[in-house]
Structure 1
């Protein structure tokens, strides 16, 4: 086949794609100097077969030789045309050729030659022409959306058909936003890769009167991928048609109901959505009455049989805006007689259709209701039970008066289907609400109901659960009295939401309380709790029940009203705040330990001096973190809320809630604030005790003398016994300096400290033993006793109630 055309020739040259073309390099002497893989695929020759050979050896027709000799080409910089080349298999191949001159070094002219199979190019051009004509001339509206859900291309049918894109230009840069239903369907396609089909009502569907057959639109979307498999976007197709087929109209209405009913887990809203679908499409009036036990699922208290049988009006809707709800039933709790179709349908679980006539037995007994129905012109009613999962939840009543047609079997089937779908949504909402309330009730019952009245601090708190969609969380707080008039302040947060988080919170709170009774320092206590969280997670994973405790954060602080210091340690928790009376709000530098549950990492404590009257604020991260602001803004607002710590604690708490929290927090929040108090020096008496047996008598005398000063002579006998036994044990079994301290608080506290780390234990001595009964006697006369370890040794303490005369 010979030479076909000059530069700028026929259509096969137009879709020339250099990225996929066969390429070869030809030097100024017409010798092939380069050969790519695409050229080998096209003509069958390998690079070894052709390199160094004249380009004319590839031609079929010798008459084409001058056309490919670069120094004979008529074009100065390039040439295009059609040539016939010989395939390695011996068959001719018609090629589209494009050659361009390269300015090589040294002044030599070399040529880059691109080859394409003409047959393939013409086939591709034919396919593109057919596809373009099909899309542009098709009555089917077609549009392409990019991955950002914006129109990239819209055909003429779509531009005329779809109101939401009618103003967009039919070009790849249209950029218009689709309607919500298109965007929702396209987003579903991008997420799942599936091709959903949806029916949409453009005009209201009037099944009852059938004046309008309805305007229906069929939509479908599917993903678009490139040759490399990458997602390009979504193709959206629309078919618009009108119909008079009642079956299709019912299908359309059911499809609309599936999208409109049950959009949330709110029970009242679900019922309203059902009413909006039924009126005016099926009936002129609808009333939905649910049993009280269904309508108020948040009440977890047992109900009597009478209460469980009470119907509550949840929703009603009419084609007449001024229609009162008393048309069917009276008031919020319609008093249907036993003979009414509502009561009969509720009892037997079957739908009831009946004409409204004066001779109707149950209406004859209720003239007032009969008068209202006749005044409206009601001629038939349909009552359908609201039932799901074997549970009767109420009834729905439909009336017709504007539509002269009575309810028929088709209407009954349609309403039963609609009510069945709505009943499942109502039951889901009821179960969800009840579950959420159960989790919230459980969590609140596990939190402190009242804070203890302590000498060391005055405390207040707030706990705010998250909104219903997120569910209850695992935030908790605690105020724990400790020995020596001290107090522990705790705030923690368990990862996750729901029943498991509340149960995990309860276990951690109990663990912290137990460990606090051992008088462990904050860093050691958090280490023990961290081990517990790791063990619980391992146990839950081993039983294949899923981890109950995945992780948690906690801050633990001990305030000493005598030393006027607070010792803190935190595990993955925000730093507490201290509001001083005469200084700005402080966020002390407490070492940030890892969250609980990681295991093996150390915790550190920090001791901070605190003056009397200051506010110590412990909180969970939900207080300072919000999606609409930076965390630094949260800290600034917290400082503002804690300013002026001399205000009442409840006022400070309310200010924190108002300034820091939105109306519906996305996470539950717990915070605890405590105003520090100091124990005055006249309530504390301390002495050094020599490590000599004779010092026991002097210690007793000093204790009794101090009790006289405090007016507590009635406690002298038991105090002498406690002091005698504790000091004697310290002299016999301990080493180093020994000290005795009496503290008058809401109890009388006796403490004996030494430098030994050996912990005493109580045992029952035998009859023949002369000693070993000291701690047994102390435990008998004291209200509480225990051991507290310090950096210098230990302290054995005992508490006894104050005499009645004090």
Structure 2
């Protein structure tokens, strides 16, 4: 074959065989010749195309025409120009084309036109979009542990990219942290609308898509079929005469109003457990769904199902944590002679906030406020452990700073043995605590705190002050170094303990709220609970992020009709003096039935004080719910209960005391120790 024949064959092959579109345009961008076999123009009659521009064929837009004219004028070739649009020559089907163009010149360099190649990359582009959609779904879906938000994220991701309308419904049990057993659902299912989005072109939104709305999915439609066997359903074309639409005229009307014509129904399920359903629709301006769309929808829903299931587990754990929290914090506070108490506890989250009022020896009480870091069941159970521990430590009559030191060590131990779970918002266990001891006899408060906000004191004269208590380290962090502070508290003062959600140490601008709450008639003598509620309402932030606690204590004092004392010299005769004093005091209180036992108790305790200390002893009787007898001396030696043998001459004193009393014990003071006993009143 000669060269001329070869050129003719080659030219014929270029315009009939390649799978790409080859177009020759004249300087006016009119078609001179094109490859009619290429994808995108197959079946187009050459007589309809020759002499017409791409624009006249509905094949291109302004940007394509501008690109071709630039190639004509400059001679610079353009490769891989991407065009996306609907081609009139193909009935308005959307295509993505990759266009390349170069200027056509003769041997003398005269411009003859433009040669353009067109490659149909619609399928490749759709595949890339699907991959990008799956990538965005992995990034955006499941950003929180909220069922509604996760469902809405699914709808937001899928609209425009995959569907024109997306509706997500979940089972009511999922919202409560529960779920049906593994396997498909066979009965009519009720779902609650949790997520919805539609493109702007679809303006008629049926009421069935309203967030929070409830609808029943009857048998015999694609939704019920998908839930019955956990397989997604593709309905390429919704028709008014479809049997399941005919049986549901109201739903058919909703579909007609929305203008949707194609449907994908995918069950929200993970680990074999059904959580709800996601439905995808396309409107008039979009082509019907195909099998590739079904696969993408299934993958996106699978990602959302994991997020919704995580949210369900979180909801369930939070519910359990809140129930545990209600059990582990006091449901009410008993009354004590030392102070009137009231509290308001607002559980916003399942946090580690706790409070307590603990009876101590000598008619004293301990006021406690604490907060374990974090939220959830682990935090709540840790709070319960610390509250139990602080009650046990308080029963040992430790001083306030000593108690916090022991609690600090226990918190460190709990952190090692029971660290926060990996999904917790805390990496290590830590807590704050404020421990306040009030003595109604001396009308003094002893305070120590571990990182907790300092209490506020309202005095009877109306003045408000934050008690200056050195802030030791949080429990479980740093070195256990705490200090105790003693403050004189007049009778009728109000101590306010709170957590950081209501008041920080630096929030001095909130103190007027205390002034207002305590000055409102009838002032400090009014209902303590009413003041507590009003104060919390004024201190609570607009959008609280943690539980809020307010504990109020209005102090009382014990007068001569309830507490008497006498200092006795360090000499043997003091035991007899103690018996006479006790007999007289009990007669004044009309408690003669307890005279014999109390005389014996006081005599033994004073005898021990004279024997083992070097200074005077103080004898005190307190008439409370029990009869309390206390003897204080300057010795730090702790008493021990002994069981004397028959031939022993001593060692029976504390044994007799223990037999005559309900409780007895010893506590260290700043000047020595105090041995106390309690007897039941007749």
TM-score of the superposition, structure 2-length normalised? 0.67
State the Cα distance separating 1:608 from its structure 2 match.
1.6
Higher mean Cα deviation, 447-456 or 641-650?
A: 641-650
- For 1:726 and 1:590, the matched residues in 2 are separated by 35
Q: Deviations over 1:221-247 (max 9, x none)?
A: xxxxxxxxxxxxxxxxxxxx9979544
Residues 579 and 602 in structure 2, CA contact (< 8 A), matched pair in contact too: yes
- For 1:292 and 1:425, the matched residues in 2 are separated by 16
State the Cα distance separating 1:352 from its structure 2 match.
3.0
Residues 163 and 282 in structure 2, CA contact (< 8 A), matched pair in contact too: yes
Question: Which one of the candidate residues 377, 380, 401 is aligned to 1:523?
Answer: 401
Residues 536 and 549 in structure 1, CA contact (< 8 A), matched pair in contact too: no
- For 1:413 and 1:586, the matched residues in 2 are separated by 67
Higher mean Cα deviation, 517-526 or 395-404?
A: 395-404
Question: Which one of the candidate residues 404, 429, 433 is aligned to 1:554?
Answer: 433
- For 1:777 and 1:312, the matched residues in 2 are separated by 72
Alignment of 1:742 with 2:621, yes or no, is: yes
State the Cα distance separating 1:502 from its structure 2 match.
4.6
Correspondence 1:781-792 to 2 at 5 A: 781-792=660-671
3-state SS in 2 of match to 1:514: helix
3-state SS in 2 of match to 1:682: coil
Correspondence 1:124-163 to 2 at 5 A: none
Number of residue equivalences: 558
Aligned to 1:272: 152
3-state SS in 1 of match to 2:679: strand
Question: Which one of the candidate residues 191, 206, 215 is aligned to 1:323?
Answer: 206
- For 1:268 and 1:598, the matched residues in 2 are separated by 38
- For 1:277 and 1:214, the matched residues in 2 are separated by 22
Question: Which one of the candidate residues 470, 486, 493 is aligned to 1:614?
Answer: 493
Alignment of 1:633 with 2:509, yes or no, is: yes
Aligned to 2:101: none
3-state SS in 2 of match to 1:265: coil
State the Cα distance separating 1:321 from its structure 2 match.
3.5
3-state SS in 1 of match to 2:619: strand
3-state SS in 1 of match to 2:310: helix
Question: Taking structure 1 as reference, are residues 749 and 341 closer, same or farther at Cα in structure 2, changes over 3 Å only?
Answer: farther
Question: Taking structure 1 as reference, are residues 657 and 242 closer, same or farther at Cα in structure 2, changes over 3 Å only?
Answer: farther
Question: Taking structure 1 as reference, are residues 711 and 345 closer, same or farther at Cα in structure 2, changes over 3 Å only?
Answer: farther
Residues 271 and 314 in structure 1, CA contact (< 8 A), matched pair in contact too: no
Question: Taking structure 1 as reference, are residues 325 and 735 closer, same or farther at Cα in structure 2, changes over 3 Å only?
Answer: same
Q: Deviations over 1:553-588 (max 9, x none)?
A: 433221111111112233444433211121421233
The alignment's C-alpha RMSD in Å is 4.8
3-state SS in 2 of match to 1:275: helix
- For 1:445 and 1:211, the matched residues in 2 are separated by 65
State the Cα distance separating 1:397 from its structure 2 match.
3.8
3-state SS in 2 of match to 1:706: helix
Aligned to 2:444: 565
TM-score of the superposition, structure 1-length normalised? 0.58
Question: Which one of the candidate residues 455, 461, 466 is aligned to 2:343?
Answer: 461
Aligned to 1:349: 230
State the Cα distance separating 1:428 from its structure 2 match.
3.0
Residues 462 and 515 in structure 2, CA contact (< 8 A), matched pair in contact too: no
- For 2:338 and 2:679, the matched residues in 1 are separated by 18
Residues 214 and 249 in structure 1, CA contact (< 8 A), matched pair in contact too: no
3-state SS in 2 of match to 1:586: strand
Question: Taking structure 1 as reference, are residues 336 and 534 closer, same or farther at Cα in structure 2, changes over 3 Å only?
Answer: closer
Unaligned runs of 5+ in 2: 1-62, 64-83, 86-90, 99-119
Residues 284 and 402 in structure 1, CA contact (< 8 A), matched pair in contact too: no
Correspondence 1:359-438 to 2 at 5 A: 381-398=263-280, 407-438=289-320
Residues 585 and 642 in structure 1, CA contact (< 8 A), matched pair in contact too: no
Unaligned runs of 5+ in 1: 1-160, 162-201, 204-208, 217-240
Aligned to 1:292: 172
Alignment of 1:761 with 2:643, yes or no, is: no
3-state SS in 2 of match to 1:294: helix
State the Cα distance separating 1:486 from its structure 2 match.
0.8
- For 1:508 and 1:725, the matched residues in 2 are separated by 37
3-state SS in 1 of match to 2:640: coil
Residues 495 and 550 in structure 1, CA contact (< 8 A), matched pair in contact too: yes
Question: Taking structure 1 as reference, are residues 338 and 598 closer, same or farther at Cα in structure 2, changes over 3 Å only?
Answer: closer
Correspondence 1:442-461 to 2 at 5 A: 442-443=324-325, 445-461=327-343
3-state SS in 1 of match to 2:467: coil
